[in-house]
A and B are shown apart, each in its own frame.
Chain A
Amino acid sequence: MVPKTVFNSGRLTVYLSGDIDHHEARKIREYTDAIIQEKKPSDLHLNFASVHFMDSSGIGLIMGRYRMMQLYGGKVRVVSVPESLRKMMELAGLGSLDVLERRT
């Protein structure tokens, strides 16, 4: 599924949805990277509120965008993470990278 994106004063928000696995991650990556290259945002927010399932392909997706944003001198935030995806994000050590939004 192609994610919805919103660009506003330097911040690009990508609203991911559905299942993120190896099959879907490839499509999301291509679509998102084209927009990042066009807009060159200073902040990239990956919003996981509507993601129902994610395997380690989602971690690859986050880390890849993290590296890409570092090239532009920008930052990545992973926001609105459902409880069911926390286990995967924490296992991957995203907490220590300071990209993961704290529990509210």
Chain B
Amino acid sequence: MNTVNEMTVVFESRSVNESFARSSAAAFVAQLDPTVGELNDIRTAVSEAVTNCVVHAYKNTIGKITLNVRICEGNVVFIRIRDKGCGIENISQAMEPLYTTSPEDERAGLGFAVMQSFMDDVKVRSSVGKGTTVTLMKRLIPRLNDV
């Protein structure tokens, strides 16, 4: 799929950056003239993925998070969130709704379930001790002026 436009930002895994991450992804996607609902879905999914990096990947440490947003032909958006943190031992278990390793922090265990239901596709690659890459895909509804 041909890339039309792309941006990358790198930031530290501080919880204050969760809002920076979702806002910058949404600001970049805004050029496609998405609906309010689509933009809200993207904001929410990015927030979940970045929170996972802050809470789990870099638990008790500060590391770098890379957010890459790619706009492809046909109004398709790919968003990649990458960390070099602890990695996930069992990805399918981590993706189960309500599964959490941080109940004391009131984590609901819904992060991946939200990403899956708010986006069209979610892919997770992880290597223990090396990090995790989450790739989110959303196909935006074509706008009238594109047809």
**B interface, CB within 8 angstroms of A:** 15-16, 18-19, 22, 36-37, 40, 43-44, 47-48, 51, 54-55, 105-108, 110-111, 113-114, 117-118
- Give chain A residues whose Cβ lies under 8 Å from the Cβ of B117: 91
Q: Report whether A22 and B18 are in contact in the complex, using a CB–CB cutoff of 8 Å.
A: yes
Total interface residues in chain A, CB < 8 Å:
22
Binding site secondary structure of chain A: helix
Q: Are A59 and B108 interface neighbours, CB within 8 A?
A: yes
The B interface is mostly helix, strand or loop, or mixed, namely helix
Chain B residue contacts of A60, Cβ below 8 A: 105-108
The chain A residues found within 8 Å of chain B, CB to CB, are 19, 21-23, 25-26, 29, 53-57, 59-61, 63-64, 84, 87-88, 91-92
In the complex, what's the smallest C-beta–C-beta distance from B39 to chain A, in angstroms?
A: 10
- Could you show 9 A-B contacts with beta carbons less than 8 Å apart? A22-B15, A22-B55, A53-B22, A53-B40, A53-B47, A55-B48, A57-B107, A59-B108, A60-B106
